[in-house]
A and B are shown apart, each in its own frame.
Chain A
Amino acid sequence: AQSVSQHNHHVILSEAASLELGCNYSYGGTVNLFWYVQYPGQHLQLLLKYFSGDPLVKGIKGFEAEFIKSKFSFNLRKPSVQWSDTAEYFCAVNPLSNSGYALNFGKGTSLLVTP
């Protein structure tokens, strides 16, 4: 079945550590790719998105993600995390080859940043 996989379910990092969260998808053809973040007690917010062009995209709060088409991956990175980055992170794919418009989400990665 077509899916979105986030490999790390729970990640614990110390402040200033580097972060990389994996996301792989199994849809063929053209895709729109997203990372959403959900801070504790808050709603889903868009972190960054890839539609076309430069495969390295930059988002808010120093996050970036790289689209590697050959690997069907869209990994999220941040060079130095802060305590305020503690949140749940969701990778989402809109497979444009389908007739639907739904976002297909990964299961999410819970990030805890310790002081």
Chain B
Amino acid sequence: GAGVSQSPSNKVTEKGKDVELRCDPISGHTALYWYRQSLGQGLEFLIYFQGNSAPDKSGLPSDRFSAERTGGSVSTLTIQRTQQEDSAVYLCASSLGWGWGAQETQYFGPGTRLLVL
């Protein structure tokens, strides 16, 4: 079956502009995660959605970052007033979402490479 898909693959933007990154999880997966992969920082957790529960936003680096998940499926990560330090690969992952403590495996998408000039 189809894996996690993300769009766009690459995004170049100017400092101060807003960007939206999209993630389509694997069908049937109720849990969705956003991570950021950057040089020197490795892979960092950003935000987590589970079904209709309030998202876990504990990894968002600033209030310029937000995300939403519509209809329990597609998610959009929005970065407002982008800064050069936001340049990174933004990865989305999904899992079945059986709940806390479950033996969950996260499956990753190809990522969106963001470059802020």
Contact = CB atoms under 8 A, between A and B. Distances in A.
A96 B100 contact: yes
Interface string B84-117: 0000000101000000110111111111000000
Nearest to A106: B42
Interface size class of chain A, counting residues whose CB lies under 8 Å from the partner chain: 20 to 34
Contacts of A51: 103
A51 B105 CA distance: 10
Interface size class of B (residues with CB under 8 A): 20 to 34
A100 B60 CA distance: 14
Nearest to A103: B106
Contacts of B106: 103
Given A49-B105, A101-B33, A107 B42 contact: yes
**Which DSSP category, helix, strand, loop or mixed, fits chain A's interface?**
loop
Nearest to B107: A46
Given A36-B108, A44-B108, A102 B48 contact: yes
Contacts of B109: 43
Nearest to B48: A101
Contacts of A102: 33, 45, 48, 56, 58-59
A96 B42 contact: no
B31 interface: yes
Interface-centre pick from A44, A94, A99, A106 (highest chain B CB count, 10 A): A44
B43 interface: yes
Given A44-B91, A90-B43, A105-B42, A100 B56 contact: yes
Interface string A76-115: 0000000000000010101010011111111110000000
30 contacts: A32-B103, A32-B104, A42-B110, A43-B91, A43-B109, A43-B111, A45-B108, A46-B105, A46-B107, A51-B103, A52-B103, A90-B42, A90-B43, A92-B43, A96-B100, A99-B100, A100-B45, A100-B48, A101-B48, A101-B50, A101-B104, A102-B45, A103-B33, A103-B35, A103-B45, A103-B93, A105-B44, A107-B42, A108-B42, A108-B43
